[in-house]
């Protein structure tokens, strides 16, 4: 009975958001929410997105369904952006955001016989929930030393030994959430070799293309991996890269043999059909318009460059500061919006309660949410608690 339902614990991040909102202090600092903010603290609509929306409004002739696979031009253009020429050999389907793509991919893997998904930890907190919702078993695989801010690849290889052929591992393609620590090209190659040797499928999660070193640079590791393995599943989110979070724009790409592709495609279509039937149109149409028009595409690239420059500048500013027990200098080497600081629960609580500085309970900070003017106060507070 519905009356017997046990309540679920709320997402811990929502708790932080609520506490921040209710904090009356005028100088409070929000490093919790995972959205990009410009120098004024705003999350802007990108210029190219606004222009594409104006164009769509003027030219759209119908609101009928987009079709089972979604917007095929969107899929082709995003595929080209992510994989280059390799996109030609992939099955693809539009998804409801990167989250929807991850769920589609997990359901597909389960249909193909997978039982377990290795999750290099710490991972994006939604990964285990998605894996479990798809009736797969998440395998927690610690792979990062937070005190030293260092990747331990051998720990990951050991985790691959605990799963079977046809199981998978979710690897973040760039700008790791919550660590900011990405694999080097050599590490990607070593990972591909290790996965091939064990028959474990890479499930790549790309949610921040363009936020690290550049649009092509950020997918170099992903491409190296996809090139080397016979099968791969790739979830793409365009929420951040186009600043269209609420439009829920994503896609799933699958590399398999040509022979297996029709079955993969029909399984994906069936999973989507039983879930939400057809994907939403507007966000994907924006991305399609931006990527297919030379001027809009350039405008988007320019603004993405500005965003990346802003994040890198904030990282360099933080890295120049000295704080007792925190290797601040490594923040400059890390990529994208997030870093996770080696802070205890008590230190995170003190930062929030005494200094009005909000981060996740696991001490993830959204570097891209830190206003330049707030950096000195943030560093002073870190020195006071660390
Ligand atoms: C690592 C990672 N993957 C996937 C997503 C999903 O993005 P969305 O569902 O908003 O497109 C996010 C969003 O925060 C993320 O950080």
319 shares its domain with 249: no
Is the separation of the CB atoms in 219 and 188 below 8 Å? no
Share of the chain above pLDDT 90, in %: 90
Active site annotation includes 124: yes
**Distance between CA 336 and CA 212 in Å, rounded?**
5
Q: Which two tokens stand for residue 182?
A: 């990405």
Mean pLDDT of 123-140: 97
158 shares its domain with 39: no
Kindly state whether residue 146 falls inside one of the protein's structural domains.
yes
305 shares its domain with 284: no
**Distance between CA 69 and CA 88 in Å, rounded?**
16
**What CATH number is attached to the domain comprising 185?**
3.40.640.10
pLDDT in tens, 193-207: 999 999 999 999 999
The residue among 95 and 33 whose pLDDT is bigger is: 95
**Distance between CA 228 and CA 215 in Å, rounded?**
21
Is the separation of the CB atoms in 204 and 226 below 8 Å? yes
Kindly state whether residue 235 falls inside one of the protein's structural domains.
yes
* Average per-residue pLDDT for the chain: 95
**Is 39's pLDDT higher than 90?**
no
Kindly state whether residue 4 falls inside one of the protein's structural domains.
no
Mean pLDDT of 3-16: 90
Mean pLDDT of 336-364: 96
**Is 34's pLDDT higher than 90?**
no
Q: What is the pLDDT of residue 285?
A: 98
Q: Which helix (H) or strand (E) holds 6?
A: none
**Is 56's pLDDT higher than 90?**
yes
Ligand 1 center to 294 CA (angstroms): 27
Task: From the candidates 91, 95, 124, 335, give the one annotated as an active-site residue.
Answer: 124
Task: From the candidates 240, 285, 335, 381, give the one annotated as an active-site residue.
Answer: 240
Kindly state whether residue 3 falls inside one of the protein's structural domains.
no
326 shares its domain with 234: no
Residue 250 in contact with ligand 1 by CB distance below 6 A: yes
37 shares its domain with 73: no
DSSP 8-state assignment for residue 8? P
Please give the backbone phi and psi of residue 181, each rounded to the nearest 5 degrees, phi first: -100, 115
Residue 97 in contact with ligand 1 by CB distance below 6 A: yes
- Residues 6 or more apart whose Cβ sits within 8 Å of residue 123: 170, 172
Kindly state whether residue 128 falls inside one of the protein's structural domains.
yes
19 shares its domain with 153: no
Task: From the candidates 51, 107, 205, 374, give the one annotated as an active-site residue.
Answer: 205
| Nearest atom of ligand 1 to the alpha carbon of 172 | 1
227 shares its domain with 354: no
Q: What is the pLDDT of residue 150?
A: 92
91 shares its domain with 114: yes
Mean pLDDT of 133-162: 95
CA of 224: how far to CAs of 82, 83, 84, 192, in Å?
12, 10, 12, 8
- Going by pLDDT thresholds of 50, 70 and 90, the confidence category of residue 324 is confident
**Distance between CA 352 and CA 65 in Å, rounded?**
47
Ligand 1 center to 102 CA (angstroms): 9
Q: What is the pLDDT of residue 148?
A: 87
Relative to beta strand 90-96, strand 116-121 is unpaired
| Nearest atom of ligand 1 to the alpha carbon of 101 | 9
**Is 130's pLDDT higher than 90?**
yes
Residue 207 in contact with ligand 1 by CB distance below 6 A: yes
The residue among 66 and 38 whose pLDDT is bigger is: 66
Relative to beta strand 137-142, strand 116-121 is parallel
- Going by pLDDT thresholds of 50, 70 and 90, the confidence category of residue 11 is confident
Nearest CA to ligand 1 atom 2: 207
pLDDT in tens, 224-258: 999 999 999 999 999 999 999 999 999 999 999 99
**What CATH number is attached to the domain comprising 333?**
3.90.1150.10
- Residues 6 or more apart whose Cβ sits within 8 Å of residue 190: 153
Specify the number of domains making up the chain.
2
228 shares its domain with 347: no
Residue 172 in contact with ligand 1 by CB distance below 6 A: yes
Residue 92 in contact with ligand 1 by CB distance below 6 A: no
Is the separation of the CB atoms in 202 and 191 below 8 Å? yes
Last residue of a domain, one of 292, 312, 338: 292
361 shares its domain with 253: no
Kindly state whether residue 54 falls inside one of the protein's structural domains.
no
364 shares its domain with 219: no
Kindly state whether residue 172 falls inside one of the protein's structural domains.
yes
> Shortest CA distance to 318 belongs to which of 309, 328, 303, 307?
328
Last residue of a domain, one of 241, 263, 292: 292
DSSP 8-state assignment for residue 77? H
Q: What is the pLDDT of residue 42?
A: 87
**366: β partners:** 338
Active site annotation includes 240: yes
Active site annotation includes 207: yes
Ligand 1 center to 206 CA (angstroms): 8
Residue 99 in contact with ligand 1 by CB distance below 6 A: yes
Q: Residue 182 belongs to what domain range?
A: 65-292
**Is 287's pLDDT higher than 90?**
yes
Q: What is the pLDDT of residue 143?
A: 95
Residue 34 in contact with ligand 1 by CB distance below 6 A: yes
Last residue of a domain, one of 292, 307, 336: 292
Mean pLDDT of 305-333: 93
Residue 205 in contact with ligand 1 by CB distance below 6 A: yes
Kindly state whether residue 239 falls inside one of the protein's structural domains.
yes
pLDDT in tens, 74-107: 999 999 999 999 999 899 999 999 999 999 999 9
178 shares its domain with 308: no
**Is 25's pLDDT higher than 90?**
yes
């Amino acid at each position: 009975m519905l009356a017997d339902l046990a309540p679920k614990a709320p997402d811990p991040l929502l708790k932080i958001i609520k506490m921040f909102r209710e904090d009356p202090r005028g100088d409070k600092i929000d490093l919790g929410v995972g959205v990009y903010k410009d120098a004024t603290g705003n999350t802007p609509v990108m210029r190219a997105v606004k222009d594409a929306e104006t164009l769509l409004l003027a030219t759209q002739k119908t609101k009928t369904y987009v079709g089972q696979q979604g917007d095929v031009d969107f899929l082709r253009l995003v595929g080209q952006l992510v994989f280059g020429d390799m996109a030609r050999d992939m099955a693809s389907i539009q998804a409801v955001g990167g989250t929807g793509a991850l769920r589609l991919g997990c359901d597909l893997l389960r249909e193909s016989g997978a039982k377990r998904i290795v999750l290099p930890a710490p991972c994006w907190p939604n990964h285990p929930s998605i894996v479990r919702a798809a009736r797969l078993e998440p395998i927690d695989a610690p792979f990062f030393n937070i005190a030293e801010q260092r990747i331990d690849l051998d720990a990951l290889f050991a985790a691959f030994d605990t799963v079977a052929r046809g199981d998978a591992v979710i690897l973040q393609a760039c700008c790791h959430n919550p660590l900011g620590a990405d694999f080097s090209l050599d590490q990607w190659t070593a990972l591909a070799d290790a996965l091939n040797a064990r028959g474990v499928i890479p499930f790549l999660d790309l949610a921040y293309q363009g936020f690290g070193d550049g649009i092509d640079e950020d997918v170099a590791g992903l491409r190296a991996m996809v090139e080397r393995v016979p099968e791969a599943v790739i979830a793409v989110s365009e929420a951040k890269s186009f600043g269209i979070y609420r439009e829920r724009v994503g896609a799933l790409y699958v590399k398999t043999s040509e022979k297996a592709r029709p079955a993969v495609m029909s399984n994906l279509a069936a999973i989507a059909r039983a879930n939400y039937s057809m994907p939403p149109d507007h966000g994907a149409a924006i991305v399609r318009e931006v990527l297919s028009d030379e001027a809009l595409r350039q405008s988007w690239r320019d603004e993405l460059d500005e965003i990346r420059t802003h994040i890198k500048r904030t990282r360099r500013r933080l890295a120049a500061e000295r704080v007792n027990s925190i290797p601040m200098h490594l923040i400059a080497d890390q990529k994208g919006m997030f870093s996770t600081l080696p802070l205890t629960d008590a230190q995170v609580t003190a930062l929030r309660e005494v200094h009005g500085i909000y981060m996740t309970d696991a001490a993830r900070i959204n570097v891209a949410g830190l206003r330049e003017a707030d950096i000195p106060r943030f560093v002073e507070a870190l020195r006071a608690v660390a």
